[in-house]
Amino acid sequence: MSITRLETGQRMSKIVKHNGTVYLCGQTSDRETVAEQTRHCLEKVEALLEQAGSDKTRILQCVIWLADMADFAEMNAVWDAWVPEGHAPARACGEAKLARDVLKVELLVTAAYDD
């Protein structure tokens, strides 16, 4: 059972693949609004999943951190339009102090891929 790390730096890998599961690092964006940040994060998730040999229909779990839970509905509007019908993953969403003040959303995704 090998572990494959892609786009690895000193602190983290953007993608880690192991035993049919792909783990993405947290995705953030410095766009202006919560909706724009969410949309950009999801675009980045799609690109990373493609690079890992997966796609958004194979997402197993998504953990979403919001800087302010008051933005829950705005984030969900983008999320709901993005998730393919019948492919909603297990999901959690909470409020957290994110790494930089400009960040409003962070997504942490785990998906399946064909070994």
**Is there a contact between 82 and 42 (Cβ–Cβ < 8 Å)?**
yes
What's the CA gap between 59 and 83, in Å, rounded?
10
Max Cα–Cα distance, the chain, nearest Å:
43
Active site residue 25: no
Catalytic residue among 25, 41, 62, 93: 93
Coil, strand or helix at 33: coil
β-bridge pairing 90-95 and 59-66: parallel
β-bridge pairing 21-24 and 59-66: unpaired
Coil, strand or helix at 63: strand
Q: Give the catalytic positions in this structure.
A: 93
